[in-house]
Amino acid sequence: MPRFNKEFKLAKEMAFGAGDILRRGLKTKRQVKLKGRVDLVTEIDLKSEKYIKRQIGRAFPQHAILAEESGRNKNESAYVWVVDPLDGTTNYAHGHPAFCVSIGLEVEERMVLGVIYDPLRDEMFYASSGGGAFLNRRRIAVSEENMLADSLLATGFPYDIAETKIDNLDNFARLYKLSRGIRRGGSAALDICYLACGRFDGFWELKLHAWDTAAGLVIAREAGAKVTNFKGGEYSIYNQQILATNGRIHRQIQKVLLKK
């Protein structure tokens, strides 16, 4: 049995509940606001986050919460819930069916569990440290592909792509020519889950936030993925670079990302 059983059970329950909010919200006219030129937030993001924070507050009132829309609460605790109530907001706002709920728990600065739920496909990815990674009760593992040329990759682009030179387009162009293909799904959390279950062989991205990768980090590692920064150092959810692969093609992608 995994550690943190009560927290794990709550995370799954919250993911299902928040997923239902997202699913029902698709049937309504969505109110969209801009946080940046292409950085959106809907009333469903806020409703989902409010629900999750309320459930955590009832079950574990002393725990800290770091959530995308409201930031970190004032609780000082070794337990920090890292929450993305709707990962893939731009997709959601346009009715594109690629989004999810992402809930992770950090204990003493170490991610110990993660739950990511895609309500439209009814796919729940989850893992706890030392307990393996699962998709709807089926244990999952990364792919066994050895060659970058035969690999399917995933990535994304930063919200400030129009204003910055660090836009990931150079990496995209180079790796597209060296791989079988690259998908840009619009949800980093789902990209990491797809890596964990072998749908993708590698994933990299820049300028993500803690809530984008927190839950996925546990799932990927428990599925056998190698997760580092671009230089190969230990990855933290507070890093600005992530490279996650099946381990077999890690160095091949890393060489491309480090190329000037």
Q: Which residues pair with 107 in a beta bridge?
A: 79, 110
Measured between alpha carbons, how far is residue 25 from residues 13, 42, 65, 232 in Å? Answer: 18, 10, 24, 40
- Show the DSSP H helices in the chain as ranges: 5-25, 43-59, 89-93, 169-178, 188-196, 210-222, 250-257
Q: Say how many residues make up the chain.
A: 260
pLDDT band of residue 36 (cuts 50, 70, 90) is low
pLDDT, averaged across the chain: 94
Whole-angstrom distance, CA of residue 149 vs CA of residue 105: 36
204-230 mean pLDDT:
97
Whole-angstrom distance, CA of residue 184 vs CA of residue 77: 36
Q: Which CATH superfamily is domain 5-139 in?
A: Fructose-1,6-Bisphosphatase, subunit A, domain 1 (3.30.540.10)
DSSP of 13-49, one letter per residue? HHHHHHHHHHHHHTTSPPPEEESSSS-EEEHHHHHHH
| Nearest Cα residue to 102 out of 192, 234, 200 | 192
- pLDDT beyond 50 at 1: no
- Is residue 190 within 8 Å of 217, Cβ to Cβ? no
Residue 35's pLDDT is: 64
Residue 162's pLDDT is: 86
CATH of domain 148-257: 3.40.190.80
Whole-angstrom distance, CA of residue 109 vs CA of residue 168: 28
Whole-angstrom distance, CA of residue 189 vs CA of residue 96: 16
Residue 3's pLDDT is: 75
**84-137 pLDDT tens trace:** 999 999 999 999 999 999 999 999 999 999 999 999 999 999 999 999 999 999
**158-207 pLDDT tens trace:** 888 888 888 999 999 999 999 999 999 999 999 999 999 999 999 999 99
**139-148 pLDDT tens trace:** 999 999 999 9
Domain range summary for the chain, segments of one domain joined by +: 5-139, 148-257
| Nearest Cα residue to 45 out of 60, 64, 31, 27 | 31
